[in-house]
Amino acid sequence: MSVYTPGQVVEETGFSLDTLRYYERIGLLERVSRNAAGQRRFTQDDVGWLGTIRCLRDTGMPIAEMLRFAELVRAGDHTIRDRIALLEAHDRRVQAQVANLREQQTAIQHKIGYYRTVVG
């Protein structure tokens, strides 16, 4: 089983050490094991979970919802329907954000086109 130092996890996930500690403190990340010297050692599962958290965070999911998702995952397979519902609701919000960004991008592209006609 691969083991990662906090520095390696920071490099792999893009999260800061402070964020990793915070996520562990609030329960978003399960308690990380430690070596004999008390240094944190992350597993491949930890890094994979942080990848999921990165995706949810980067797409705007609030921490409270991420915590709920983590609870559901830890509760076991009988919560899969609830996980699907939570992720579908988030996906709908992401779709709306993407549509809004596309509209804004179209407006920007029109402005670019206009300025190109002005300068010839």
Domain boundaries, the chain: 1-58, 63-120
Cα–Cα distance measured from residue 68 to residue 8, given in angstroms and rounded to the nearest whole number: 27
Rounded Cα gap, residues 99 and 107, in angstroms = 13
Cα–Cα nearest to 74, from 106, 105, 30, 26:
30
Residue with tokens 């964020």: 19
pLDDT at 63 over 80: yes
Read off the pLDDT of each residue in 11-29 and give the average, rounded to a whole number. 96
Alpha helices in the chain (DSSP H): 6-13, 17-26, 44-58, 63-75, 80-119
As a whole number, mean pLDDT of residues 29-40 equals 92
The predicted structure's pLDDT at residue 7:
94
For 1-58, give the CATH class.
Answer: mainly alpha
45 and 83 Cβ atoms separated by less than 8 Å: no
